[in-house]
Amino acid sequence: MDAMLVFDVALALALVGLAWAVLAAEDLFAAVVLFIVFGLMTALAWVRLAAPDVALAEAAIGAGVTGALLLATLRRIGGAESAETTPRPVLIGVGALAAAVTSGLGAAFLAAPAQGPGLEAAIAANLAASGVEHPVTAVLLNYRAYDTLMEVVVLFAAVVAVWSVAQAPEPATPLLGPLHAGFARVALPAAVVVGAYLLWAGATMPGGAFQGGAVLGAVAILALLARDYVPAPAHRAWARGAFLAGTAVFALVAAGVGFGPRMAFEYPPALAKPLILLIEAVVTLSIAATLAALFFGREPEPLGVEVEARK
Amino acid sequence: MSPDLIYGLAGLAVFGIGFFRALTLAAPLRRVLALKLCAVGASFLLIVAAYRQPPVTADAVPHALVITGIVVMVSAMAVALALIHRIAVLERERSDG
Amino acid sequence: MTEVVLLPLFILLTSLGVAPLIFALPERAAKLRTAINLTAAAAKVALVAWLSWKVSQGVIYEVQFEMLPGLAFKLQADPLAVLFIALSAVLWLITTVYAVGYLEKGPHRSRFFGFFSLCVAATVGIAMAGNLFTFLIFYELLTLATYPLVIHRGTAEALRAGRIYLIYTLCGGLALLLGTLWLYVMAGTTDFVPRGVMAEVVAETPVQAQLLFLVLIAGLGVKAALVPFHAWLPIAMVAPAPVSALLHAVAVVKAGAFGIMRVVYEVFGIDVAQGLGVTTPLLAFAAVTILYGSVRALMEDDLKKRLAFSTVSQVSYITLGVALASPIAAIGALAHLTHQGLMKITMFLAAGNLAEGLGVKKVSQLDGTGRQMPGTMLAFTLAVLAMIGLPPLAGFVSKWYLASGGLGSGQGWVIALLIGSSLLNALYFLPIVHRAWFRDADGAPAVPGRPRIGWLLTAPPIATATLVVVAGVFANAPFSPLEWTRFIVAREYLEPLP
Amino acid sequence: MADLAGIDWAVAAVLLPLIGAMACFAVPRAAATIGLAAVAVTGAAALALGLQVAAEGALTVPLGGWGAPLGIDLRADGLSVVMLVMTAGVGLLVSLSALGERDARRRRYFWPLWLLLLTGLNGVYLSGDLFNLYVMIEVISIAAIGLTVLRGNLAALKAGLEYLFASMVGAILFLLAVGLVYLNYGRLDLSGLAGIAGAGDAVLAAVLALTLVGMALKTALFPLHYWLPAAHAGATAPASALLSALVVKASLYIVLRLFQYLVAPSEVMVTLIGALGATAMLWGGIQALRAPRLKLLVAWSTVAQVGLIFVAFARAGADGTAESWKAAALIMLAHALAKAAMFLAAGRIKDEVGHDEIARLDRSPIRPTLAQFTFALAAISLIGLPPTAGFAGKWMLMEGAIAAGYWHWVVVTLVGTLLSVAVFSRVLAGFLRFDRVRGPLGEHQGWALADAPPLVLALGALGLGLIAVQVLAFLEIGAPLGGTTGVWP
Amino acid sequence: MTGIEMLSLALMALGCLFFVAGTVGMLRFPDAVSRLHALTKADGLGLVLIAAGAALAAGSAGWALRLALICGLVALAGALGAHLIARLVRTGGGR
């Protein structure tokens, strides 16, 4: 098995090297591209550490959607760079601090028991009652469903914050030409099928709401880029509904089951699987809409509205 | 020298770089990148905690936590990028306004 | 028997409850505001009268509720408290009448009267505090309520005076807070108990007890204007006349002296304090303050500042009496607490009339004012004679007891001190009287035409002057201040009275 | 366990504001009414939970029925209920004063952001799981940043970005701590960890250090406070009241919880915290003295008060922490009420007078006397003069310090009190000065219904001092007794 | 080391060779368009070879089909990417 160790060491070094390259790149665009590569490499690392779900999420959200957001912002701020650099003594001081913190963490990490105690036994024991076969989905949507609800709330909060911040309409993106339109007509429906499949597979294999949502989000972003769909002010009500659908269904189901003898978030055993699938489906749609809205970056104001400058 | 040890240390190194640069970089976009690297470094720790020698299946809880962490991180970055964009727009308005 | 247990609370509420009412009144509702003020003051006097009759029957009222674990907000109407409340209630009534006249058309009268009644509420609270913790609460409330009054005029000079006043009194407050905390940690309780609570603590750690005494006296000394901490009193004279009259002659200054009395008698206990050897330095401080105050008063040309310095020295008579640690001296001290209040308020009210009516602020401008404002100057002269210690009047009574107390406890030099300070009093007061009556106003009077101050301003000083005479002549009458002090000291010392 | 009227109030306290937030976002025109109703209903839920805890003692709700290590538990004991009721009360009054917002965009987005913030806060106070605390902190910080930048001008946006970076670094440090805990103990539930956390091993040292730095960054303890003044001063009045009074408390609460559950801090750690707190008090005071604008002064006084809370925690050394967290909690409560009142009053003064430069406050002929009176009342509580809640907190602090013989903390607190007197007397003098007024002096003007919420808050701060003993008794319900006995090396 | 494993290893080695060639091409060629040329051609072929080798190693038909699908998609994406970059270069943007 030592061949894989060589690969692991190589990948680890590549990761550290890439991390330094991302932050040391002199040009912002290069930094973002290197960051996307770093994201993909991390996904590879997750695969090596036997965490397929996380690899999918990292690739789809960590590298894909985040990369798209970064590139979009880069275009909007036009690569304006503040030239000031931090003075050398501060660099050395903070460097020493960071090194100290990291080495402290390293010591604590090495002192920790390798492959120490965990909850895998408890998960396996309760898997039958959780309504899904795949352990990660069971943890996400049943054991720690409260965490996942709050995670979707964070996403919802992000879109509320972004809509409250951004206002002024901005210059339109350049057209991507006919070839892309043809490709889009073929690829996008296929991607939608892939997204739906990912959602469905989540119950038994690595996959699930977030990964599926991310793929569908990517589809929406491509549609926005190709301006197949231009968000109009009239669509705002629909968009608001889409953003909060996931959280609303999740919260109402969680509270709903809470009435009567059972605890909140405690699905009745017979209904566990359908309920989880219902929640996952709506959450996937919600995530896709939210990620696309985050990419679009602002509430689609009626174009004519002249937003007076804040005093 | 099992994989979890290698990647654990690599993750901490990535965190160190990210933490160092997050405190020293001035450009807001680069600081966002640095913070995302710190977050990835931190999630290495969790995934390594979940790693079990191959025949045994890995512990699913940290995986769920890291997925949540990724989604939280992307939403925080989205807000940061929206702020950066809005600041750039206002500064451009102010400079030529 | 505790019939109307809440009587102390009602007395407190007559002014505390009234304050927000007055704050909310718009400026032009002058009639309504005066009505509220006067009824509240009258009600308080009535309640105090009833209380004093009850307390003389041996009833002790007490209201208590727990504020912090182990610490209670406690109001207790014992005879000592009643004396101080009676004084402040009567004088508040008179000064309110005076203030209504004085601030005829001035701005912010609602705010003034609001804080004015808050001050009196604080004074009453200080009097009735059952433990040092409650005393501290009202002590700080007094600072907060008097600050806006000192800077009522809103001028830059008033604000500067206010800032100095705030620094002094808040530092005093913090010292008292530190003392109360330390007392609570060392003695386990801050309650006022006739024979004091510090007996065993003094036995164990005398040095710490001495330090605690120093901190407590420093905290209280600021308000009692003991020498190193007296500077704020003359500066605060920039306040309007009713404020300097009621507050700086009665409420604030007496609160400090009253606090010292409580600490010496009911926290340490007089014999424990004497055993600890802290009374002699206190005696020294009081003596120095008496002399220093009189000397500075001599040099001061501004009338109100001269009166302020005289207050500094007069208040230390009380501390002197307390520190002499003999029952007779204690009677002298307590009697002086009331008599000095009456005398000093007459003088300040008269000074206010002079400033308001004739625009006379300096002693040198006082020539011939006797003829122009006979009533006021008559009251002023009576108060001056009482202050110097002319036999039948109030001043003589308290000085007499102080002197015999000093003699009794072997401190012979006290008599020399009292005689000396009386002489000094005469030196800085008699020229005022001489200028007022025996010099004719050469040249045009400072303000043309009859001085236009109405009866609202002349009646109060005359009333207080008559009280001074009454307190002096009928000293042995049943409810006179002197009689009441004998009753208190009896309870305090539990010995047969001489 | 279903209970009081069959509803599980702990879950209700978290889900109600969430549902309210979504409703406000869905119907922007009716955001204000829905928002206010949601805040009121959440307040009722918090009170019901309080009654229940008062009756039955600490309450544990195993969500999903799975139990501690696998599932997530909600835990409501004395401290969390006091924080919940405080958040609900202050939040309701701030919401009332936010009704006066005229700008359409701000009115539309204040309510969903505020209710999401409320969800996060209630989530933190009820959470019994470390990672759940992390997610809740993220909900709070994103909503808080949304509120900070709601004003929309460049200064607010820049302050918001700086605040976002600070809270992201803080959250990541906390995530690292969670990672280390899971690596070593394989479980994340606080009550479970309290038992097995071994005495004095290196991991707990790292976890404690990381969390302390992370939370210090988010609560703006001295060296890491650089982002707070600009962010809190730049926001709109209701937003800054929420930020200063409530958001700062969440990370303070987490530090308290960790010291209670994971490991009792050692003497070195406690003195370090006290020292940082002391410097924060001095630095905050000095900066507040130099602050030109009213809201900046109030923001700097938050930095000082956070320092005071840490000093309160450190007042009696390591073994005293079992008692001194109550003093810290009391000061947190007093600060929340007084600071919210002060920020709202400052906002009112700025609306009436037109600007909030302290030097020119006394020149304006318009004097909002009621708002100024509220400001003064809040100042009295922040200074800590009797009978306010601030005084009760400081009294507990100094009493514990003297009993344990740590006199230096007493001296620090007294100096801090004098400093805050100087700071606030600078503002109060401006209110009471009349000789440089331009134009005729109006009388009783500037009074409006919007003055009511701050006044109620200020009177609350005043009145709370009188019932401090009941609050302290309530704090003791179900409080874990100082976590493990293990003392970190 | 049966025959099939030998063959799949050989195929994969060949594929890697093409990838290396593509990368060298990308670094050495002067302007953007020629670099595009190197990338799409060499990497495309390299990918197919590695996929074939992997399919042999995996053995089951299902995996072979999936790998083929992946090759198809990557080729499609590569072509579109190259086209868009080329359009950008022709219209004067890009670096």
pLDDT band at B27 (very low <50, low <70, confident <90, very high): confident
Closest to D385 (Cβ–Cβ): which among C140, C163, C171? C140
CATH assignment of the domain containing B52: 1.10.287
> A146–D62: do the CB atoms touch at under 8 Å?
no
Write the pLDDT tens digit of every residue in B41-95. 999 989 988 888 877 888 888 999 999 999 999 999 999 999 999 998 888 888 8
Show which of residues 225-284 on chain A sit within 8 Å of chain B, judged by CB atoms. Answer: none
Q: Which residues does chain A have within 8 Å of residue D129's beta carbon, measured at their own beta carbons? A: 147
> D149–B83: do the CB atoms touch at under 8 Å?
yes
- Closest residue in E to A30 (Cα) is E95
Mean pLDDT across chain B: 89
> D425–C141: do the CB atoms touch at under 8 Å?
no
Q: Which residues does chain B have within 8 Å of residue A310's beta carbon, measured at their own beta carbons? A: 90
Write the pLDDT tens digit of every residue in D2-29. 455 557 888 889 999 999 999 999 998 8
Q: Which residues does chain D have within 8 Å of residue A255's beta carbon, measured at their own beta carbons? A: 11, 15
- Closest residue in B to A11 (Cα) is B7
Range with the poorest average pLDDT among C46-50, C442-446, E15-19? C442-446
**Within a domain: E85:** yes
Work out the burial of residue A47: count CB atoms within 10 Å of its CB; fewer than 13 is exposed, 13-18 middle, 19 or more buried: middle
Tokens representing C162 are 């206010």
Tokens representing D488 are 């970190």
Decide which of A56 and D222 is more confident.
A56
Neighbours of B27 (CB within 10 A): 18
Assess whether pLDDT exceeds 90 at residue D159: yes
Per-residue confidence (pLDDT) for residue A306, from 0 to 100: 37
Count of domains observed in chain E: 1
Q: What is the pTM of this model?
A: 0.90
Range with the poorest average pLDDT among A2-6, B21-25, D54-58? A2-6
Q: How many helices (H) and strands (E) does chain B have?
A: 3, 0
The mean per-residue pLDDT over the stretch D329-349 comes to: 93
Closest to A183 (Cβ–Cβ): which among E80, E87, E95? E80
Is A127 part of the contact surface with chain B (CB cutoff 8 Å)? no
Mean pLDDT across chain C: 82
Show which of residues 30-89 on chain A sit within 8 Å of chain B, judged by CB atoms. Answer: 31-32, 35, 38, 42, 45-46, 48-51, 53-54, 57-58, 61-62, 65-66, 69-70, 72-74, 76-78, 80-82, 84-86
Prediction ipTM score? 0.87
pLDDT band at D1 (very low <50, low <70, confident <90, very high): very low
Mutating which of B4, B21, B32, B65 best tests the D interface, going by the most D Cβ atoms within 10 A?
A: B65
Contact present, B49 and D185 (Cβ < 8 Å) = no
> B69–D175: do the CB atoms touch at under 8 Å?
yes
> D168–B15: do the CB atoms touch at under 8 Å?
no
Range with the poorest average pLDDT among A155-169, C11-25, D397-411? C11-25
Mutating which of D168, D188, D207, D218 best tests the B interface, going by the most B Cβ atoms within 10 A?
A: D168
What share of chain D has pLDDT > 70, as a percent? 94
pLDDT band at D198 (very low <50, low <70, confident <90, very high): low
Write the pLDDT tens digit of every residue in E28-44. 888 778 888 888 888 88
> C154–D435: do the CB atoms touch at under 8 Å?
yes
Assess whether pLDDT exceeds 90 at residue C229: no
Is B35 part of the contact surface with chain A (CB cutoff 8 Å)? no
The mean per-residue pLDDT over the stretch D193-206 comes to: 68
Q: Which residues does chain A have within 8 Å of residue B65's beta carbon, measured at their own beta carbons? A: 147
Q: Which residues does chain A have within 8 Å of residue D149's beta carbon, measured at their own beta carbons? A: 161, 164-165
Assess whether pLDDT exceeds 80 at residue A230: no
Query: D227 CA to chain B: closest CA distance, Å?
Result: 13
Per-residue confidence (pLDDT) for residue D489, from 0 to 100: 32
What residue numbers bound the domain in which E70 lies? 3-90
Q: Which chains touch C (3 or more CB pairs under 8 A)?
A: D
Count of domains observed in chain B: 1
Tokens representing A12 are 């680890």
Is B80 part of the contact surface with chain A (CB cutoff 8 Å)? no
Contact present, B70 and A57 (Cβ < 8 Å) = yes
Assess whether pLDDT exceeds 80 at residue D487: no
Q: How many beta-carbon pairs below 8 A join chains A and B?
A: 257
**Within a domain: E11:** yes
A47 — alpha (psi -120 to 50), left (phi > 0) or beta?
alpha
Is A123 part of the contact surface with chain B (CB cutoff 8 Å)? yes
Q: How many CA atoms lie within 13 A of D177 on its CB side?
A: 27
Is D203 part of the contact surface with chain B (CB cutoff 8 Å)? no
Identify the DSSP state of C73: E
Regarding chains B and C, contact by 3 or more CB pairs under 8 A is answered as: no
Q: Is the peptide bond before C242 cis (omega within 30 degrees of 0)?
A: no
Closest to B72 (Cβ–Cβ): which among D135, D145, D160? D135
Q: What is the largest CA-CA distance in chain B?
A: 66
Assess whether pLDDT exceeds 80 at residue C410: no
Query: A18 CA to chain E: closest CA distance, Å?
Result: 18
- Closest residue in B to A27 (Cα) is B30
Per-residue confidence (pLDDT) for residue D243, from 0 to 100: 93
Is A241 part of the contact surface with chain D (CB cutoff 8 Å)? yes
Per-residue confidence (pLDDT) for residue E27, from 0 to 100: 82
| Among the listed residues D95, D90, D74, the one whose alpha carbon sits nearest the alpha carbon of residue D15 | D74
Write the pLDDT tens digit of every residue in E37-77. 888 888 888 888 888 888 888 777 888 888 888 888 888 88
Q: Which residues does chain E have within 8 Å of residue A26's beta carbon, measured at their own beta carbons? A: none
The mean per-residue pLDDT over the stretch D392-397 comes to: 91
- Closest residue in D to C108 (Cα) is D443
Tokens representing D9 are 């109030």
| Among the listed residues A157, A290, B83, B78, the one whose alpha carbon sits nearest the alpha carbon of residue D144 | A157
Closest to D66 (Cβ–Cβ): which among A108, A143, A241? A143
| Among the listed residues D422, D429, D379, D158, the one whose alpha carbon sits nearest the alpha carbon of residue D287 | D422
End-to-end Cα separation, chain D, in angstroms: 41
Give the whole-angstrom CA distance, residue B73 versus residue B84: 16
- Closest residue in B to A45 (Cα) is B7
Give the whole-angstrom CA distance, residue C183 versus residue C266: 13
Note every long-range contact of D472-475, with CB atoms under 8 Å and residues 24 or more positions apart, other chains counting: D472/C68, D472/C69, D472/D326, D472/D330, D472/D396, D474/D54, D474/D78, D474/D81, D474/D82, D475/D78, D475/D79, D475/D82, D475/D326, D475/D329, D475/D330
> A151–B72: do the CB atoms touch at under 8 Å?
yes
Per-residue confidence (pLDDT) for residue E3, from 0 to 100: 81
Is B46 part of the contact surface with chain A (CB cutoff 8 Å)? no
> D146–A116: do the CB atoms touch at under 8 Å?
no
Q: Which residues does chain D have within 8 Å of residue C156's beta carbon, measured at their own beta carbons? A: 433, 435
> C136–D398: do the CB atoms touch at under 8 Å?
no
pLDDT band at A83 (very low <50, low <70, confident <90, very high): low
| Among the listed residues D299, D295, D280, D300, the one whose alpha carbon sits nearest the alpha carbon of residue D416 | D280
Handedness of CA C293, C299, C302, C303 (dihedral sign): positive
What residue numbers bound the domain in which B75 lies? 3-96
Give the whole-angstrom CA distance, residue A104 versus residue A91: 20
Mutating which of D289, D323, D385 best tests the C interface, going by the most C Cβ atoms within 10 A?
A: D385
Per-residue confidence (pLDDT) for residue C497, from 0 to 100: 41
At C302, phi and psi to the nearest 5? -70, 130
Is D107 part of the contact surface with chain A (CB cutoff 8 Å)? no
